[in-house]
Chain A
Amino acid sequence: GAGVSQSPSNKVTEKGKDVELRCDPISGHTALYWYRQRLGQGLEFLIYFQGNSAPDKSGLPSDRFSAERTGESVSTLTIQRTQQEDSAVYLCASSFMGGQRIPYEQYFGPGTRLTVT
């Protein structure tokens, strides 16, 4: 079946502009995650959605970052007034959530490579 998809695959923007990144999770996956991966570094957790619960926004680096998810479907990550340090690959993942809120493995999208000039 279809995996996690993200769009655009690449985005080049000027400093100060807003960008919106999109993630389509696997159908039926109730949990959705956003991560940031800077060049040569590990994954940095940004935000987590689980069903209709309030999202865990503890990883968002500043108030310029926000994310939304409609039900258990598409999510958008918005970065306002982009800065050069926002340049990174932004990865989305989705998973089932099992009993006792134990997550199953995550399935990752291909990522969006954001370059802020």
Chain B
Amino acid sequence: AQSVTQLDSHVSVSEGTPVLLRCNYSSSYSPSLFWYVQHPNKGLQLLLKYTSAATLVKGINGFEAEFKKSETSFHLTKPSAHMSDAAEYFCVVSERDMRFGAGTRLTVKP
């Protein structure tokens, strides 16, 4: 069965600095991988997805993620954080169904 581990429960960055949210997965097959974002008191929104096409995936709001099979990782990055990026981020791995990581809370300091 598939599983996903988000390596940091909380990440804090200053506005304008890079963001790195780490995700490692375990899967028996070639998985699909997703990142979702959840802003306070709002629903979950898809940021980006990997489905065995290009290993570098670009998403909304300047985020991107790179699928590295050798490292079983799918880390989420953004070159320059914005205050509006403060939210909870979930990495998701999917074989038949979808399993969410525990989440990483991103704080952006002015």
Q: Using CB atoms and an 8 Å cutoff, list the residues of chain A in contact with chain B.
A: 31, 33, 35, 41-43, 45, 48, 50, 56, 91, 93, 101-103, 105-111
CB of B101 within 8 A of CB of A42, answer yes
- B97→A102 contact, CB < 8 A: no
CB distance from B4 to the nearest CB of A (A): 10
- Out of B94, B96, B100, name the residue touching A43 (CB < 8 Å): B100
Interface of A: prevailing SS:
strand
- B51:A108 contact, CB within 8 angstroms: no
Quick check: B43 and A111 within 8 Å, CB to CB? yes
Q: Which residues of A contact B98 (CB under 8 A)?
A: 33, 45, 103, 106
Contact between B100 and A45 (Cβ–Cβ < 8 Å)? Answer: yes
User: Is there an interface contact between B103 and A108, defined as CB atoms closer than 8 Å?
Assistant: no
Q: How far is the CA of A49 from the CA of B94 in the complex (A)?
A: 14
Shortest distance between the CB of B50 and any CB in chain A (Å): 11
Please judge, given known A-B contacts A102-B32, A103-B32, whether A45 and B97 are in contact too, CB under 8 Å: yes
**When the two chains form the complex, which single residue of B34, B99, B102 contacts A45, counting CB atoms closer than 8 Å?**
B99
